[in-house]
C-alpha cells in the first residue's frame, strides 16, 4: 500500500482538540470551561488528572506544527476553545484568544499545512452550563455568536470547517451517563441536549456557509460497526437499537430522515423538546461529513438496561485480541463497514475519516518509542480505507487521531494516542515509530 493508491486528491491529515492539548486554562483572559470544572470534581478523572497544562500546545504550537510539517502531513485539524474566545460564553470577546488562533492559522500556512477547524470539541464555557448548557435551546444563538466571531477572524485562511465533534459522545457521556463534563445524567438532560446539538449542526452550518461562502462546511460523527452477539432474534434486535443510538441518531436528522425512532422507540422522548418548524431546521446539506471510527461493538439483549434493552459486551469479556489501552478491540473492518454505511445514505456528498487511532502503553528506550502496535493498527485501518476507496465508495480523506499524546478526557494522561510522545513532566517530544512511518508514507520525495 502506497499513498498514490489513494489518488492524488485524497486528503491526509492529523486531528487534535483544544481542551486536550492547549493547557493555559486560565491565562490571557480565557474563561473556565465545563471540563475545567469537571476535572476538579473528585473521582471523575483517572488518577485525578486535569488539563491545566495538558501538552502545552498554547505555548508550543510552533514546535508542534513543525512536527506536522516534518512528517509531511498536509492538513492539521484543531478545535477552537469557546471560553478562550468568549470567557463568559457570550458578550465581550477576548482579543487575546482570537489572536492565538490567528497566529496558529498563520503558523500552519507558513509550514504549508492547511488548517481544518472544528468549532465545538466539547469545552463549553462554564458560564453557559450555568444556564443549562446544551439542555437550553438558547445554545443555538450562543453558538452562532461564537461561530461568527471565529469565522470573522480566520475565514480568509480557513477553508474547511466542522460544526460539532461527535455529538453522540458529548451528549451521551456528558448529559446521560455523567462520565464526561458537565456530568449530568438521565433522559431529561440527554433528550434536550441531543435535540439542540442536532439543531446546532444546521443552524451553525448555515451561518458558516454565509460567513465563509468559499469554504467546505461539515460536522463529525462517531461510529462503530455493531454486531449482535448471537444470531438469536433478540440479540439481532438489540443490535439494531444500539445502532440507532450509536450510529444513526445525529446523521439521520441532518440528512432529512428524522430521528431513528422506528428502531429505538425510546427516542420518541425527544419529541417533547421539538418546536413547530424544527423538522425543517434539522436538515442541512453539508459539503462533507467526518466519520470517526476506532473499533466495533458486540451487543446482546438485556432486560436490565432501561430504554435500550441492550448491552455492549466488552472486548475483554469476549476475549477479543488485540485490545487497546481504552479496552477497545482492534477490528479494522469496522472502518470499511462505516464508510460503506455512511456512504449508502442518499445525499452524503463526501466522507472524510476525520479521526482514527489507538492508545497503547508506550515506552521510551534510548530516546526512541517503538510503538509497533499503533503502527500496525494504522496500517491495517488504512488498508480498509483503501479497500473502500477501490470499491468506489465515497471516502476522500483520512486523519489520524492524534498528533501528540494529550489529555484523554476521563482517562486522563494514561491513554496515549499520539504519533509524537510527550513526557508530561518536561513536555519533551519524541516522534514515535508510528509517526515516522506515517511521515515516510506521506512523503512525496522520499530520500533514496
Between 238 and 328, CB nearer to ligand IFM: 328
Task: Judge whether 166 counts as a catalytic residue.
Answer: yes
CA-to-CA distance for 230 and 244, rounded, in angstroms? Answer: 19
Letters for 16-35 (x = contact with ligand IFM by CB under 6 A, - = none) are -x--x---------------
Query: Phi/psi at 376 (nearest 5 deg)?
Result: -65, -40
Q: SS3 of 16, please?
A: coil
Task: Kindly write down the DSSP assignment for every residue of 92-117, as one continuous string.
Answer: S--HHHHHHHHHHHHHHHHTT-EEEE
Q: Does position 404 bind ligand IFM by CB under 6 A?
A: no
Q: How many Cβ atoms are within 10 Å of 376's Cβ, its own excluded?
A: 17
Between 250 and 401, CB nearer to ligand IFM: 401
Name the catalytic one among 211, 297, 329, 355: 355
Q: How many residues of this chain interact with ligand IFM, rule: CB under 6 A?
A: 8
Residue in 65, 169, 185 with CA at minimum distance from that of residue 120? 169
CA-to-CA distance for 299 and 227, rounded, in angstroms? Answer: 6
Torsional class of 358: left (φ above 0), alpha (ψ -120 to 50), beta (otherwise): beta
Between 17 and 127, CB nearer to ligand IFM: 17
Letters for 271-310 (x = contact with ligand IFM by CB under 6 A, - = none) are ---------------------x------------------
Residue in 120, 115, 215 with CA at minimum distance from that of residue 166? 120
Smallest separation, CB 18 to ligand IFM (Å): 10
By CB under 6 A, the residues from 156 to 215 that bind ligand IFM are 166
Name the catalytic one among 166, 252, 297, 408: 166
Task: Judge whether 411 counts as a catalytic residue.
Answer: no
Q: Does position 235 bind ligand IFM by CB under 6 A?
A: no
Residue in 169, 225, 223 with CA at minimum distance from that of residue 197? 169
Q: Does position 243 bind ligand IFM by CB under 6 A?
A: no
Between 223 and 229, CB nearer to ligand IFM: 223
For 335, counting Cβ atoms within 10 Å of its Cβ (0-12 exposed, 13-18 middle, 19+ buried), the class is buried
Cα–chain center distance at 333:
20
Residue in 25, 49, 55 with CA at minimum distance from that of residue 424? 55
Cα–chain center distance at 88:
24
Letters for 320-359 (x = contact with ligand IFM by CB under 6 A, - = none) are -----------------------------------x----
Smallest separation, CB 326 to ligand IFM (Å): 6
Between 282 and 339, CB nearer to ligand IFM: 339
Between 398 and 417, CB nearer to ligand IFM: 417
Smallest separation, CB 50 to ligand IFM (Å): 16
Among 133, 204, 408, 416, binds ligand IFM (CB under 6 A): 408
CA-to-CA distance for 307 and 64, rounded, in angstroms? Answer: 44
Smallest separation, CB 401 to ligand IFM (Å): 5
Q: Active-site residue numbers?
A: 166, 355
Residues that bind ligand IFM (CB under 6 A): 17, 20, 166, 292, 355, 401, 408, 417
Amino acid at each position: 500500500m502506497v499513498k498514490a493508491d489513494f489518488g492524488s486528491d485524497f486528503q491526509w491529515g492529523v486531528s487534535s482538540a483544544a481542551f486536550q492539548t492547549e493547557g493555559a486554562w486560565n491565562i490571557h483572559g480565557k474563561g473556565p470551561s465545563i471540563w475545567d470544572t469537571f476535572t476538579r470534581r473528585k473521582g471523575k478523572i483517572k488518577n485525578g488528572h486535569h488539563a491545566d497544562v495538558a501538552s502545552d500546545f498554547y505555548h508550543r504550537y510552533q514546535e508542534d506544527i513543525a512536527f506536522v510539517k516534518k512528517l509531511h502531513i498536509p492538513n492539521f485539524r484543531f478545535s477552537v476553545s469557546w471560553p478562550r474566545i468568549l470567557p463568559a460564553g457570550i458578550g465581550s470577546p477576548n482579543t487575546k484568544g482570537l489572536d492565538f488562533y490567528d497566529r496558529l492559522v498563520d503558523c500552519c500556512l507558513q509550514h504549508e499545512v492547511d488548517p481544518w477547524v472544528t468549532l465545538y470539541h466539547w469545552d463549553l464555557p462554564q458560564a453557559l452550563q450555568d444556564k443549562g448548557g446544551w439542555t437550553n435551546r438558547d445554545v443555538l444563538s450562543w453558538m452562532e455568536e461564537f461561530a461568527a466571531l471565529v469565522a470573522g477572524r480566520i475565514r480568509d485562511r480557513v477553508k474547511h470547517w466542522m460544526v460539532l465533534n461527535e455529538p453522540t459522545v458529548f451528549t451521551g457521556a456528558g448529559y446521560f451517563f455523567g462520565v464526561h463534563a458537565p456530568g449530568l445524567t438521565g433522559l431529561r438532560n440527554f433528550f434536550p441536549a441531543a435535540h439542540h446539538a442536532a439543531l446546532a449542526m444546521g443552524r451553525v452550518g448555515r451561518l458558516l456557509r454565509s460567513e465563509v461562502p468559499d469554504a467546505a462546511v461539515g460536522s463529525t460523527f462517531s461510529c462503530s460497526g455493531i454486531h449482535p452477539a448471537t444470531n438469536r432474534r433478540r440479540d439481532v434486535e438489540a443490535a439494531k437499537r444500539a445502532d440507532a443510538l450509536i450510529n444513526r441518531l445525529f446523521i439521520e436528522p441532518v440528512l432529512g430522515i428524522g430521528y431513528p425512532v422506528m428502531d429505538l422507540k425510546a427516542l420518541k422522548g425527544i419529541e417533547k423538546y421539538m418546536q413547530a418548524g424544527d423538522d425543517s431546521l434539522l436538515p442541512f446539506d453539508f459539503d462533507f461529513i467526518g466519520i470517526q471510527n476506532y473499533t466495533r461493538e458486540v451487543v446482546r439483549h438485556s432486560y436490565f438496561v432501561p430504554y435500550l434493552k441492550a448491552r455492549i459486551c466488552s472486548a475483554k469479556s469476549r476475549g477479543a485480541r488485540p485490545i487497546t489501552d481504552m479496552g477497545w478491540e482492534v477490528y479494522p473492518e469496522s472502518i470499511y463497514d462505516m464508510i460503506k454505511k455512511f456512504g449508502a445514505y442518499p445525499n452524503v456528498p463526501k466522507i472524510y475519516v476525520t479521526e482514527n487511532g489507538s492508545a497503547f502503553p508506550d515506552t521510551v528506550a534510548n530516546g526512541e518509542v517503538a510503538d509497533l502496535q499503533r503502527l500496525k493498527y494504522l496500517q491495517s485501518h488504512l488498508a480498509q480505507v483503501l479497500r473502500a476507496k477501490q470499491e468506489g465508495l465515497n471516502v476522500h480523506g483520512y486523519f489520524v487521531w492524534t498528533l501528540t499524546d494529550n489529555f484523554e478526557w476521563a482517562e486522563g494522561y494514561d491513554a496515549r494516542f499520539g504519533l509524537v510522545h510527550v513526557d508530561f513532566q518536561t513536555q519533551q517530544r519524541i516522534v514515535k515509530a508510528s509517526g515516522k512511518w506515517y511521515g515516510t508514507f506521506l512523503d512525496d520525495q522520499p530520500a533514496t
